[in-house]
Amino acid sequence: MNILEIIAKKRDNKKLSKEEINYFIKEYTNNNITDYQAAALVMAIYINGMDDEETKELTLAMADSGETLDLSVFGENVVDKHSTGGVGDKVSLILLPIIASLGIPVAKMSGRGLGFTGGTIDKLESIKGYHTDIGIDKFIENVKSIGISLIGQTLNLAPADKKIYALRDTISCTESIPLIASSIMSKKIAAGANKIVLDVTCGHGAFMNNIEDARKLAVAMKNIGKLANKETVCVITNMNEPLGYAVGNNLEVIEAVNSLKGNMPEDVEQVILELGAYMIKLADKGDNIEENKEKIKEVISNGKAYDKFLQLIENQGGDTSYIKDTNKFEKAKYILPVKSEKAGYIQDINARRIGEISGLLGAGRMKKEDKIDFSVGIVVEKKVSEYVKQGDVLAYVHANDEKLAQEAISEVLTEYVIESKKVDKPKVILEII
Ligand code: URA
């Protein structure tokens, strides 16, 4: 068996065997296959797809490429959460301290930005001193001592996914059901939780643009969950316009902190309540979804969720003075308004383009080794269904380069579709699978 034959087989739209998939994952993880060969195979998978069996084998091989955590010390109902990615998606930063403050252990491995979507790890690293790369013992110890730890894929958990994820990001191979399902589920299997809630985003700002594809992805991940003996619930959420207002790393951390203090954007709140209520249910801490939502509201209003966030940041070396006073976060040099050129109701804001523009300002990566600029991004001021007058501020561009800022202003403006007809606020929770 060799990699050239495997690439040629997928290129010609043939089914890969378990042995071929295992060979690729093992040899790529051990650096015996080059990035350009892996890129060719990943592109062939992207174009020709994989059937359920291949997707399952890919997931299991990736989950098995490193260590697998045993979280049984925390009981039978350890719940994990993951999103298929979005623009302005700061849900993990808000939801996980909420869940931990309800006494449910949170041991979560998050990812970096992928394509036009942001990543929780990049956002956390915008907090001075926060370590996302602690060892496994420390990770478990943190969960034992304060009930929560959030880390990056720096541990030896699903290292094959870490490599393929970073590769996909730089070869335009993000929107693929087998690649997303195997990426997410391999991490979830390796990270040890036995219950999983997945936020399957759907719309312009998601990898799945329509409800049919979002359903297919949800079903693929649920099936893998079943095979791995992990109860999985998928919540399909709307990602047509950016979630909340802020897009960009420290800008989103600031919005998350404000949310934990009770000032949460309406769409973010709906996602938090729905995902959180299912996490509580899977953790066996309450069967009634509506009552679970009340429990979440309570730990926000009594400050317990915010306190848990502070504890998390402190425990992983972060400087909590940034959380206590978010004005301390580095600000971009240019914070410039995008003004509406006409009056009317906002019909659409293309979240994908907002994510891409934010990436071009420096909030994302073009190459694997690129450094993120934590302070740049876009803060949306007006959302879909709102009425604006000519000259009203639609958004602010946060940039460190004046030319890029000016380009971003005109590009953001073109992403706002404004017409005279009224439109309803978009539905946020689309389906539960
Ligand atoms: N999140 C992941 O971990 N992997 C993907 O492929 C997409 C979102």
pLDDT of 210-226, one tens digit each? 999 999 999 999 999 99
Give the number of the atom of ligand 1 that is nearest the alpha carbon of residue 184.
3
Q: Are residues 286 and 409 in the same domain?
A: no
| Ligand 1 touching residue 85 (CB < 6 A) | yes
Same domain, 339 and 314: no
424, part of any domain: no
d(CA 44, CA 12) in angstroms, rounded, equals 8
Range of the domain at 181: 72-324
Give yes or no: 168 in active site: yes
**Structure confidence at residue 169 (pLDDT):** 86
The catalytic residue among 10, 56, 108, 168 is 168
Q: Can 398 be counted among the known catalytic residues? A: no
* Active-site hit among 176, 183, 340, 375: 183
What digits encode the pLDDT tens for the residues 313-334?
999 999 999 999 999 999 999 9
User: Residue 350's domain is classified under what CATH number?
Assistant: 3.90.1170.30
**CA 40 – CA 21 distance, rounded (Å):** 14
Quote the pLDDT of residue 80.
94
**39 and 165: one domain?**
no
pLDDT at 318: 98
Q: Is the CB of 180 under 6 A from ligand 1?
A: yes
* Residue 183: active-site member: yes
pLDDT cut 70: percent of the chain above it? 100
Q: Which of 378, 383, 336 is nearest to 359 (CA)?
A: 378
Of all protein residues, the one whose alpha carbon is nearest to atom 2 of ligand 1 is 184
- Output the CA 392–ligand 1 centroid distance in Å: 36
* 365/313 same-domain check: no
Asked if residue 351 lies in contact with residue 154, where contact means CB atoms within 8 angstroms, the answer is no
Is residue 426 situated within a structural domain?
no
**pLDDT at site 45:** 98
- Residue whose CA lies nearest to ligand 1 atom number 5: 180
Q: Nearest Cα to 238, choosing from 268, 273, 278?
A: 268
Q: Are residues 338 and 284 in the same domain?
A: no
Vertex 84: Cα angle to 33 and 3 (nearest 5): 15
The DSSP secondary structure of 86-101, one letter per residue, reads -SS--HHHHHHHHHHH
Report the number of distinct structural domains present in the chain.
3
Q: How many CA atoms lie within 13 A of 288 on its CB side?
A: 4
Q: Which atom of ligand 1 is nearest to the CA of 84?
A: 8
Higher pLDDT, 302 or 155: 302
What are the pLDDT digits (tens) for 100-128?
999 999 999 888 888 888 899 999 999 99
Contact 88, 113 (CB under 8 A): no
Assess whether 307 carries a catalytic annotation: no
Is 82 among the catalytic positions?
A: yes
Domain co-membership, 312 together with 205: yes
Please tell me whether residues 376 and 414 are part of one structural domain: yes
- pLDDT value of position 250: 97
User: What is the spatial distance between Cα 362 and Cα 375, in angstroms, rounded to a whole number?
Assistant: 9
The first and second tokens of residue 13, run together, are 């739209």
Q: Is the pLDDT of residue 361 over 90?
A: yes
Q: Is residue 122 domain-shared with residue 145, that is, in the same domain?
A: yes
Mean pLDDT of the chain: 96
Asked whether residue 39 falls in the same domain as residue 169, the answer is no
